[in-house]
DNA sequence: TTATTGCAGATAAAATTTATCCGTGATAAG
DNA sequence: CTTATCACGGATAAATTTTATCTGCAATAA
């Protein structure tokens, strides 16, 4: 029940990409350096995001990544499910059908039990809560809340690596 | 982002214990046999539940476990947090404070950022949803929905191991 | 053509989860 | 009082997953 911290990296990368001007891209190496994380491993996460259509890739020199959709169309849930996989966090092993008191082929096993139903319901409310937060919402708030010096530093840094 | 299946075992054990008559207990071995899972490993989970005050232990011959609280006072959340630990599933590494564009000791880092806030909010709705389902609710529904033959079989089995 | 970049797959290292074992203390039954 | 049964904590081992890196190949801008 722990979320990999590559999810955190992926969210930060997507947020940064979402704030870039149209047509501008950043390479995996730049993104890794910007966030201070290991490049080859971050690259894997970016590839996953690419496979799931969240980011778009530009190959060749001066290539890199852009956001593939509009920022208001990418939610935290999209990123989490892409990196972590979209399987349910609760996998039921149907242990009610094991053990000495179980019946064989009883119709009552067709219905999913309450335990599994409750676990899945909880996961659904978690997911829909995450889906409410879009990248567009995040960058708006960053602009409002961030320290202006940091914004400047960040913009200068980005300008140095983009045409 | 996967929940250990010992959580599933623990929930089943607690539900079974919740349905037992007052004062009656089942040993770890019995519980393992009933559910068809390995005894030494299930025993570990039961010890954890015991530490967290969810089940009560009776030592000595004919000892075992009882539910420590009223069934309407134990929720799925209690069991999940006991087995999985109560740490948040999203651990923020403050990577905004790393990398070449970060400021040193800026006051703007004091406030938790929106990403972390959204992740924690989602976990909270997940938890409160799980907290809604109490063991009492589960056993009521089991009585209504279960196959009568299975109930009989189960009761006979329990009677054989309890006075 | 050349240098740069993403990508898939293989691989290696590290950490975590899963599972078992043993010695100790508690206690009910004989 | 003795004995057998059971929970418990700690140590340990096996298996699996996560984390991280490397390599060769395709794409492409200059
Ligand atoms: S009773 Fe529910 S949780 Fe248990 S095994 Fe069956 S479906 Fe899964
Ligand atoms: S910006 Fe938010 S998610 Fe990222 S490191 Fe800081 S607190 Fe964590």
Are the Cβ atoms of B130 and A138 closer than 8 angstroms? no
Domain of B10, in residue numbers: 5-161
pLDDT of residue A145: 81
pLDDT tens for each residue of B11-41: 999 999 999 999 999 999 999 999 999 999 9
User: Is B155's pLDDT higher than 80?
Assistant: yes
Of the partner residues B106, B133, B149, the one whose CB lies closest to the CB of residue A150 = B106
Which ranges of chain B does DSSP label H, i.e. alpha helix? 5-18, 28-35, 39-51, 76-84, 114-132, 135-145, 148-161
Question: Is B115 at the interface with chain A, CB within 8 A?
Answer: yes
Could you tell me the pLDDT band of residue B107, with boundaries at 50, 70 and 90? Answer: low
For B52 and D1, how far is CA from C1' in angstroms?
36
Residues of A in contact with B129 (CB under 8 A): 118, 121-122, 125-126
The encoded tokens of residue B77 equal: 């959340």
Q: Tell me whether residue B154 is exposed, middle or buried, using C-beta atoms within 10 angstroms of its C-beta: 0 to 12, 13 to 18, 19 or more.
A: buried
d(C-alpha A30, C-alpha A20), whole Å: 13
Task: Give chain A's mean pLDDT.
Answer: 91
Q: How many CA within 13 A on the CB side of residue A76? A: 27
Residues of B in contact with A121 (CB under 8 A): 129
Average pLDDT over residues B39-44: 96
Average pLDDT over residues A60-81: 97
For A42 and C9, how far is CA from C1' in angstroms?
17
Q: Are A11 and A79 in contact (CB under 8 A)?
A: yes
For B139 and D3, how far is CA from C1' in angstroms?
39
Q: Are B116 and B53 in contact (CB under 8 A)?
A: no
CA distances (Å), origin B9, targets A71, A92, B85, B110, B127 = 42, 10, 16, 41, 19
Q: Are B18 and B139 in contact (CB under 8 A)?
A: yes
Q: Which nucleotide is nearest to A27 (CA to C1')?
A: C5
- Domain of A84: which CATH number? 1.10.10.10
CA quadruple B30, B31, B35, B37: dihedral, nearest 10: -90
- Per the structure, how many domains does chain A have? 1
Average pLDDT over residues A71-96: 93
Tell me which protein residue sits closest to nucleotide C4, measuring alpha carbon to C1'.
A61
How does DSSP classify residue A72? G
| Helix (H) or strand (E) segment spanning residue A34 | helix A28-35
Distance A135 CA to ligand 2 centre (A): 14
Q: List the single best residue of A36, A75, A141, A143 to mutate versus B (max B Cβ within 10 A).
A: A36
Could you tell me the pLDDT band of residue B109, with boundaries at 50, 70 and 90? Answer: low
* First vs last C-alpha separation in chain B: 43
- Closest residue of chain B to A156, computed from CA coordinates: B101
Residues having CB closer than 6 A to ligand 1 are A 92-96, 112-113, 115-116; B 8, 12
């Amino acid at each position: 029940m722990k979320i990999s911290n590559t999810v955190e990296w992926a969210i930060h990368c997507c947020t940064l990409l979402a704030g870039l001007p149209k047509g501008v891209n950043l390479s995996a190496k730049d993104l890794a350096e910007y966030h201070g994380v290991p490049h080859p491993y971050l690259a894997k996460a970016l590839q996953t995001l690419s496979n799931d259509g969240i980011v778009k890739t530009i190959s060749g020199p001066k290539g890199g990544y852009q956001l593939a959709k509009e920022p208001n169309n990418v939610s935290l849930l999209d990123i989490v499910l892409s990196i972590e996989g979209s399987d349910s966090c609760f996998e039921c092993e149907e242990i009610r059908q094991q053990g000495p008191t179980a019946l064989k082929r009883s119709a009552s096993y067709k219905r999913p039990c309450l335990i599994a139903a409750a676990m899945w319901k909880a996961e659904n409310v978690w997911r829909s809560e995450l889906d409410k937060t879009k990248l567009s919402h995040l960058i708006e708030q960053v602009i409002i809340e961030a320290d202006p010096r940091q914004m400047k530093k960040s913009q200068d840094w980005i300008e140095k690596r983009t045409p």
